[in-house]
Each structure stands twice: as C-alpha cells, then as structure tokens.
Homo-oligomer: A and B are copies of this chain.
Amino acid sequence: MKTIFERHNIKETPARNSILSVLKEAKNPLNYDQIREKMDIEMDKATFYRNIAKFEELGMVHKFEADDRKWYFELSTSVHAHFICDTCHKIICVDVTIGDVEGEVKSIVLKGTCKGCKR
C-alpha cells in the first residue's frame, strides 16, 4: 500500500504530514490561521502556502475564497457545495443538486443566512 505521498511522487515531510492530518480531521474547509492553530508543529507561512499549492496542483486539495479575502482548503472529495453564513461566518458543507449549467462545475459556494442565524 503506497502512501499518499508515494502515490503523488512527492517527499513525505513533517510539514506536509501535519497539514494533511489537519485537513483529514476537518469537517469543514479551513483557512490558514485555522489550520495553523490545529497543527502539531510550527512552520513558516511560506512553507504552508507552498505545500498547499503543491497539494492543489496534484489535485489532493481544493481551495476557494470565502467572502473574507481568505483561502479555504479541504481535501478533494466529490463536488459539493459550501454554505457561508453572512452572520456567523461559519462554513458548512452541504449537498445540493444543481440544474443545468453550461460547463463542468468543480466548486459551489452559496452565501446567505444559515438556519441558526436566520431564525
């Protein structure tokens, strides 16, 4: 059984292990600060961003911008939507079905007021 690193032909390093293990445990997409807080080791932000860029390039990680000028990262899975609440700013993964669209959809971001804040 090849490791995820072997499968993608990149070296296994503590930094990469740490980033990936945080993403593996995450229920929702996380930004740099959130990931850093959860990581067991410290690393320079350049190291973080370079590794996440590599992961993305290899298709291991998917990123998108919320409405706070920050990138949010998650492990690549099947295409699903993210609901970003205007009020509490939480990001929630949701399943939606989308009607006909011209092109191949890879990411879906919905914004609005979540159930909890709406009430």
CA distance A94 to B38 in the complex (A): 38
Interface residue from B65, B83, B100, B105 paired with A102 (Cβ < 8 Å): B83
Of A1-9, A22-30, A109-117, the one with at least 4 CB within 8 A of chain B: A109-117
Q: Which secondary structure dominates where chain A touches chain B?
A: strand
B98 contacts A110, C-beta separation under 8 Å:
yes
Shortest CB-to-CB span from A102 to chain B, Å, is: 5
CB of A11 closer than 8 Å to a CB of B: no
A108 interface residue (CB < 8 Å to B): yes
Q: Is A66 an interface residue (CB 8 A)?
A: yes
List the interface of chain A (C-beta within 8 A of B). 64-67, 69, 81, 83, 85-86, 92, 94-115, 117-118
